[in-house]
């Protein structure tokens, strides 16, 4: 008979507990589905938490219209295969104003197409709890956030005044219009995520695996030219290189790494020798110090 | 920064081996605590750095930040690695708990870096609640401080049994053994009664790394383990699996009529297919038919696993109940004693109603008796009328419905609860149950043959509690008096509970502090309830300034029987009328805690009846009240006769 749980079993149980708590205590939860590896793990845990039922909430993808094409294809394929209720929201105001990462920069683009879009979607459907896949090991303001993270009616996070969070007893009470962001993967590390994907055989977007892809070197990053909206600057050329992604976001803002890791084992092996953090490939974190905290206070996940 | 060429040289087999080894590692959750500037964040930065958890890009950012905000001259300021909030870096202090992750070849660690300021004690408690070990840091120059004691007491109350006493900044006292020995002795003296199983003192310099991961050459006199050595080997295993089975039901999974599963996380013990279980609150028993899991049913499951149970019989079980071992059952009671740590800037007031939340259950609760407050300096038990922010005390608690629990000392999961403010929804306190109070078990409700309905019918009326609230001098008593006369004239049976009169008798022992005001209202509400039960129409005329207490009174009464009447007269008008000459004295500072002057009045948001008195006569008010009462009675009669809805 087993007596002690393994590290991953403990993390899995904690996440499942969090999922069920939200389903029991909130009127209208939603899961933010961003299609990346953490979302894949989150989805897998949600399926486990409510088995044999389906998760009793819809999945919401906030589409900036600049995601990698392979991400969108993967998203639709998963929705069909697992049979969950998929909502897609686009900030139509942003589309009308042609907000894009090339002309407006990462800051404005992310704010309009992601943060504002997310707030629009939450208000439109009246969701009172929203799951996200953020982990505390990703970034130092995330390291400070509660698992059940309170947002006022304007979706604002007040990092200086968070509710105490004792044991596994979560305070799920909110007034009308307020909401809670819930992070079931808070205590997972990047290595845990990969280990779990390997152990559970969880499908992930193929962009995580090394392949010859057309990339452009720009501002010290390798950007995949995913469609014709990306115009080359003078002196730039498109080269086919063997690359993969360690993290996935909007394609013009996400740097590839040169790698030949084309299996999960190889990815983990590569990660163990990595000398940089995964968010290093994210342009949005570099805009200014405290950048993530600022975005989070405004309502970003 | 240049993009990097990652190496993926590790062959598949060795990765698999590596992962298998990772999987077998145990996990230690610990926190760092202690007073401000004892070096908690610096120590964590050192641990992360020594265990190679800091990536190149993070190190580059750290160097940048150290120049901007750092407090260590040209050196890297490791505290900036964990102080992740802008406000923290600007002020150079830790406000909230940060969770960091690292691993050594022997173990995995989750560390909570907690703030030292007394003001942020609640965040320290948050970090401590999920930890198995606490590193208590002490600045070698300062010795044991007030916050060292407070944090140690809270760690002990929250069930932490293993302490590392990190005597830090030992370099600043020339690595002096005498200083170290004196601090160790002080701490041992102080913590004698805190129930710690191990206290391991280590002299160290977090800034320079002495005795953190590497042994220090500066302290030949120290032969104990380095911090990392100790963390890697200390045994904190609680034999949760050996304890009786406890399964708080979190969620009832009912996708269709053929499946009804009880989902939750096993708090302690183990369960197997076919085992008998008992529903804690009803005592009904059943057997486990299936342990359902994605990927196939389980034969058995143990503490810590999140599972779904299907039972043999259709027994009544809902969220908040517990499935338990028939041989060793938890206590089920509505009165118990508990240690409370208070978090909120509004003090805990005995008599005030809060929401009590266990892992899955929720009910309302009041503190019936604050037995004492613990002085964090000398453990003295001090008499107290309220518990201020960051204070610790022991209380008797009474809940509206019974809850199932174990003493916290026996079970950290089923013995804990939090208290939530009814209006702000803030988490205001954390509680650890000590034991149930015998009176809850022994006093059963007498079931009486003559009921409220019969008593009221005999009087040919419906019971009601008209609760008049408003400033002193707003006209409550005048209107109440006239209203009663009018009701009496129409043959109704009534009684007035007047604030001043009750204070001459039942409540003569109470003053005007917030705590006494709360108790004042609680007693009157209970009396009004008994009178309504006797079939009377009760008119309560009390300032009752706090919405929390009015809400508590409302919840005591049956639906529709509590009628909040806001006697709304502006402060200036009340002060002008000043029928008892009290405003003049209060404004002169001769009376303390006077509502509207130096004690707040929280106006009702949605009173059943809102009387704006300016420019109106008392008769007009009373007509409005009587009209309201008649309308209600007609509506209820129709409902009863099936003529309504």
State residue B238's pLDDT score: 64
Start-end of H helices in B205-337: 227-233
Q: Would you say B133 and B54 are in contact if contact means Cβ atoms under 8 Å apart?
A: no
Q: Would you say residue A71 lies in a domain?
A: yes
Q: Sort strands A129-131 and A29-32 into parallel, antiparallel or unpaired.
A: parallel
Residues A81 and A165 in one domain: yes
Option in B84, B123, B355 nearest A140 (CB) = B84
Residue B168's DSSP bridge partners are B139
Residue A39 contacts by C-beta under 8 Å, 6 or more apart in sequence? Answer: A32, A33, A133
Quick check: is B447 catalytic? Answer: no
User: Alpha-carbon Rg of chain B, whole angstroms?
Assistant: 31
Q: According to the CATH classification, is domain B331-437 in 3.40.50.1000?
A: no
d(CA B451, CA B533): 8
Half-sphere exposure of B30 (CA within 13 A, CB side): 31
Residue A200, Cβ density class (10 Å: 0-12 exposed, 13-18 middle, ≥19 buried): middle
pLDDT at B71: 65
Residues B361 and B246 sit within 8 Å (Cβ to Cβ): no
Task: Judge contact between B433 and B405, C-beta under 8 A.
Answer: yes
Helix, strand or coil, per DSSP, at residue A250: strand
pLDDT tens column, B400-418: 899 999 999 999 999 999 9
In 10 A of CB A229, how many CB atoms?
13
How high is the pLDDT of residue B444?
Answer: 44
Q: What are the two backbone dihedrals, phi and then psi, of residue A129, each rounded to the nearest 5 degrees?
A: -145, 140
- For residue B359, what is the nearest residue in chain A, using CA coordinates? A169
* Interface with chain A: mutation pick from B5, B13, B14, B15, highest number of A CBs within 10 Å: B15
Q: What is the pLDDT of residue A186?
A: 96
Copy the structure tokens of residue A221. Answer: 């990053």
CA B39 – CA B311 distance, rounded (Å): 53
Q: What is the pLDDT of residue B72?
A: 66
CB contact at 8 A, A42 and A75: no
* Other residues' Cβ atoms within 10 Å of the Cβ of residue B74: 7
Yes or no, beta carbons of A258 and B129 under 8 Å apart: no
Q: Is B240-324's fold the same as B452-640's?
A: no
Tokens for B508, please give them. Answer: 């003569």
What angle separates helix B476-489 from helix B618-640, to the nearest 10 degrees? 50
CA distance to partner chain B, nearest, from residue A266 (Å): 6
For residues A207 and A35, is the Cβ–Cβ distance under 8 A? no
- Is residue A3 scored above 70 in pLDDT? no
| Inter-residue contact B496 to B480 (CB < 8 Å) | yes
Residues 186-245 (B) with a CB less than 8 A from some CB of A: 237, 241
Query: Does residue A284 surpass a pLDDT of 70?
Result: no
CATH code, residues B240-324: 2.40.30.10
Examine the domain organization and report whether A75 and A153 are in the same domain.
yes
Q: What sign results for the dihedral spanned by CA atoms B465, B471, B477, B478?
A: negative
CA distance B620 to B604: 21
Q: Answer whether residue A2 is part of any domain.
A: no
Neighbours of B69 (CB within 10 A): 18
Q: Within chain B, which residues score under 50 in pLDDT?
A: 1-10, 442-445, 642-645
A265 falls within a domain: yes
- For the structural domain made of B452-640, what CATH number should be given? 3.40.50.300
The continuous run of DSSP H or E covering B621 comes out as: helix B618-640
CB–CB of B358 and A5 under 8 A? no
- For the record, the structure tokens of A6 come out as 């393994």
> Integer distance in angstroms from the first to the last C-alpha of chain B?
73
Using CB atoms within 10 A of its CB, is residue B512 exposed (0-12), middle (13-18) or buried (19+)?
Answer: middle
Query: In this structure, is residue A78 part of a structural domain?
Result: yes
Q: Is the Cβ–Cβ distance between B394 and B340 less than 8 Å? A: yes
The answer to whether the CB of A167 falls within 8 A of the CB of B130 is yes
Rg (chain A; Cα; Å): 19
Contact (CB, 8 A) for B344 and B428: yes
Distance in angstroms (rounded) separating the CA atoms of residues B568 and B603: 9
Helices of type H across A83-203: 92-96, 101-110, 117-125, 190-200
Q: Which residue has the tokens 């081996």?
A: B17
Instruction: Tell the residue number behind the tokens 């009176």, with chain if given.
Output: B439
Q: Pairing relation of β-strands B107-113 and B26-34? A: parallel
Residue B336: other Cβ atoms inside 10 A: 25
CB A13 within 8 A of CB B305: yes
- Provide the pLDDT for residue B441: 52
pLDDT of residue B73: 65
Q: Which two tokens stand for residue B68?
A: 């901007």
Cβ neighbors of B267 (< 8 A, separation 6 or more) are B240, B246, B247, B248, B303, B359, B411, B413, B414
Residues 22-41, chain B, touching A (beta carbon < 8 A): 22-27
Residues of B in contact with A177 (CB under 8 A): none
Which residues in chain B (111-170) have CB-CB distances under 8 A to chain A? 122-123, 125-126, 129-130
The CA-based angle B50-B54-B60, given to 5 degrees, is: 120
Q: The domain that contains A70 carries what CATH number? A: 3.40.50.620
For B484-507, b/e burial (b = at least 16 CB within 10 A) is bebbeeeebbbebbbbeebbeeeb
The phi and psi torsions of B76 (rounded to 5 degrees) equal -70, 130
User: A244 lies in which domain range?
Assistant: 202-286
- Residue B206's nearest CA partner among B49, B96, B85, B61 is B49
Q: Rounded CA gap, B340 and B393, in Å?
A: 5
Tell me what pLDDT residue B424 has: 92
Which residues have a Cβ under 8 Å from the Cβ of B622 and sit 6 or more positions away? Answer: B479, B482, B483, B486
Task: Examine the domain organization and report whether A80 and A208 are in the same domain.
Answer: no
Shortest CA gap A155–chain B (Å): 17
Whether residue A240 sits in one domain with residue A186 = no
pLDDT of residue B336: 95
Residue A30 placed within a domain? yes
pLDDT, mean of residues A124-152:
92
Instruction: Select B22-233's CATH number: 3.20.20.100, 3.30.750.24, 3.60.15.10, 3.40.50.300.
Output: 3.40.50.300
Backbone angles phi, psi at B364, to 5 degrees: -95, 155
Residues of B in contact with A293 (CB under 8 A): 84-86
pLDDT one-digit tens code per residue, A50-69: 999 999 999 999 999 999 99
CA B550 to CA A277: how far, in whole Å? 54
> Nearest-CA residue of chain A relative to B266?
A13
Map out the domains of chain B as residue ranges.
22-233, 240-324, 331-437, 452-640
CB interface of B with A, residues 478-497, below 8 Å: none
Query: Encoding tokens for residue B191?
Result: 């913590």
DSSP B99-151: EEEEE-SSEEEEEEE---SGGGHHHHHHHHHT-SEEEEEEETTT-S-HHHHHH
Residue B441 host element (H or E): helix B438-442
Q: HEC states along A30-41?
A: EEECCCCHHHHH
> Which residue out of B294, B362, B420, B422 would a mutagenesis test of the A interface target, given it has the greatest number of A Cβ atoms within 10 Å?
B294
Query: Using an 8 Å Cβ cutoff, are B152 and B48 in contact?
Result: no
Q: Is the pLDDT of residue A19 over 60?
A: yes
- Same domain for A214 and A159, yes or no, is no
- Three-state SS at A152: coil
Place of tokens 């007009």: B620
User: What are the phi and psi torsion angles at B410 (to 5°)?
Assistant: -95, -25
Q: Do A244 and A225 lie in a common domain?
A: yes
Which of B35, B129, B386, B544 is the catalytic position? B544
A/B interface, count of CB pairs below 8 Å = 238
Based on the structure, what is the number of domains in chain A? 2
Nearest Cα residue to B115 out of B107, B106, B104, B123: B123
Tell me B599's DSSP state.
Answer: B
Q: What is the per-residue pLDDT for B10? A: 46
Pairing of strands B392-405, B362-374: antiparallel
- A25 lies in the same domain as A141: yes
């Amino acid at each position: 008979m087993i007596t002690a749980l393994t590290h991953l079993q403990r993390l899995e149980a904690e996440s499942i507990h969090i999922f069920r708590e939200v389903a029991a205590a909130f009127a209208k939860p939603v899961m933010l589905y961003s299609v990346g590896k953490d979302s894949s793990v989150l989805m897998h845990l949600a399926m486990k938490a409510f088995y044999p039922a389906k998760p009793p909430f819809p999945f919401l993808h906030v589409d900036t219209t600049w995601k990698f094409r392979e991400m969108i294809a993967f998203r639709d394929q998963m929705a069909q295969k697992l049979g969950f209720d998929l909502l897609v929201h686009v900030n139509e105001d942003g589309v009308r104003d042609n907000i894009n990462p090339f002309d407006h920069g990462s800051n404005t683009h992310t704010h309009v197409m992601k943060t504002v879009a997310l707030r629009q979607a939450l208000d439109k459907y009246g969701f009172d709890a929203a799951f996200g896949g953020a982990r505390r090991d990703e970034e130092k303001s995330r390291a400070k956030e509660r698992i059940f993270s309170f947002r006022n009616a304007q979706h604002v996070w007040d990092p200086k005044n968070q509710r105490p969070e004792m044991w596994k007893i979560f305070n799920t009470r909110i007034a009308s219009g307020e909401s809670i962001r819930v992070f079931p993967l808070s205590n997972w590390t990047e290595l845990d995520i990969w280990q779990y994907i390997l152990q559970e055989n969880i499908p992930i977007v193929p962009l995580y695996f090394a392949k010859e892809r057309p990339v452009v070197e720009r501002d010290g990053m390798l950007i995949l030219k995913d469609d014709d909206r990306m115009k080359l600057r003078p002196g730039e050329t498109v080269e086919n290189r063997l690359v993969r992604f360690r993290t996935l976001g909007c394609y013009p803002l996400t740097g590839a790494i040169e790698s030949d890791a084309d299996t999960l084992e190889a990815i983990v092996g590569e990660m163990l020798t990595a000398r940089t953090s995964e968010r290093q490939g994210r342009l949005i974190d570099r805009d200014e110090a405290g950048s993530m905290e600022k975005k989070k206070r405004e309502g970003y996940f | 920064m240049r993009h990097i060429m990652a190496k993926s040289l590790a062959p598949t087999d060795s990765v698999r081996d590596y992962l298998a080894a990772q999987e077998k590692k145990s996990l230690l959750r610990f926190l760092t605590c202690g007073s401000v500037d004892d070096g908690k964040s610096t120590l964590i930065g050192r641990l992360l750095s020594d265990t190679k958890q800091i990536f190149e890009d993070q190190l580059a950012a750290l160097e940048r930040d150290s120049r901007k905000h750092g407090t260590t001259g040209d050196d890297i300021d490791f505290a900036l690695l964990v102080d992740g909030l802008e406000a923290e870096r600007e002020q150079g202090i830790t406000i909230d708990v940060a969770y960091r992750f690292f691993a050594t070849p022997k173990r995995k660690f989750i560390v909570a870096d907690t703030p030292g300021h007394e003001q942020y004690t609640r965040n320290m408690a948050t970090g401590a609640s999920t930890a198995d070990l606490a590193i208590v840091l002490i600045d070698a120059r300062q010795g044991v401080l007030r916050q060292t004691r407070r944090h140690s007491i809270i760690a002990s109350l929250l069930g932490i049994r293993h302490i590392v006493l990190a005597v830090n900044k030992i370099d600043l006292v020339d690595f002096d053994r005498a200083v170290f020995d004196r601090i160790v002795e002080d701490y041992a003296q102080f913590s004698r009664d805190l129930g710690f199983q191990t206290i391991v003192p280590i002299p160290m310099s977090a800034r320079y790394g002495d005795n953190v991961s590497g042994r220090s050459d500066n302290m030949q006199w120290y032969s104990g383990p380095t911090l990392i050595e100790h963390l890697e080997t200390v045994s904190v295993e609680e034999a949760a699996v050996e304890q009786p089975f406890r399964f708080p039901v979190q969620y009832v999974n009912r996708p269709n009529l053929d499946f009804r599963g009880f989902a939750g996380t096993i708090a302690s013990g183990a369960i197997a297919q076919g085992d008998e279980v008992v529903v804690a609150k009803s005592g009904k028993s059943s057997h486990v038919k299936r342990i359902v899991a994605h990927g196939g049913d389980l034969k058995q499951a143990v503490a810590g696993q999140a599972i779904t149970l299907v039972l043999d019989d259709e027994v009544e079980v809902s969220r908040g109940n517990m499935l338990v071992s028939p041989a060793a059952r938890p206590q089920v009671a509505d009165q118990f004693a508990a240690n409370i740590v208070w978090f909120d800037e509004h003090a805990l007031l005995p008599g005030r109603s809060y929401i009590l939340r266990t892992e899955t259950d929720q009910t309302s609760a009041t503190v019936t008796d604050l037995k004492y407050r613990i002085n964090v300096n000398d453990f003295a038990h001090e008499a107290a009328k309220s518990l201020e922010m960051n204070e610790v005390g022991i209380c008797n608690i009474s809940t509206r419905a019974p809850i199932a629990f174990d003493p916290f000392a026996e079970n950290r999961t089923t013995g804990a609860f939090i208290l939530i403010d009814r209006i702000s929804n803030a988490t205001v306190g954390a509680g650890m149950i000590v034991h149930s109070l015998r009176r809850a078990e022994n006093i059963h409700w007498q079931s009486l043959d003559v009921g409220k309905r019969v008593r009221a019918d005999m009087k040919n009326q419906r019971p009601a509690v008209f609760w008049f609230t408003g400033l002193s001098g707003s006209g409550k008593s005048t209107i109440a008096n006239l209203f009663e006369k009018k009701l009496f004239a129409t043959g109704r049976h009534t009684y007035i509970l007047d604030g001043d009169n009750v204070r001459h008798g039942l409540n003569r022992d109470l003053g005007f502090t917030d705590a006494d005001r709360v108790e004042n209202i609680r007693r009157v509400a209970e009396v009004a309830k008994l009178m309504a039960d006797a079939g009377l129409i009760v008119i309560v005329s009390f300032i009752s300034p706090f919405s929390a207490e009015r809400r508590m009174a409302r919840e005591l009464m049956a639906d529709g029987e509590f009628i909040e009447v806001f006697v709304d007269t502006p402060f200036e008008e009340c002060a002008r009328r000043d029928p008892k000459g009290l405003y003049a004295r209060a404004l002169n500072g001769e009376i303390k805690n006077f509502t509207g002057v130096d004690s707040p009045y929280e106006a009702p948001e949605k009173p059943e009846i809102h009387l704006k008195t300016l420019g109106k006569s008392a008769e007009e008010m009373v007509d409005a009240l009587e009209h309201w009462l008649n309308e209600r009675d007609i509506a209820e009669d129709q409902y009863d006769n099936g003529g309504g809805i």
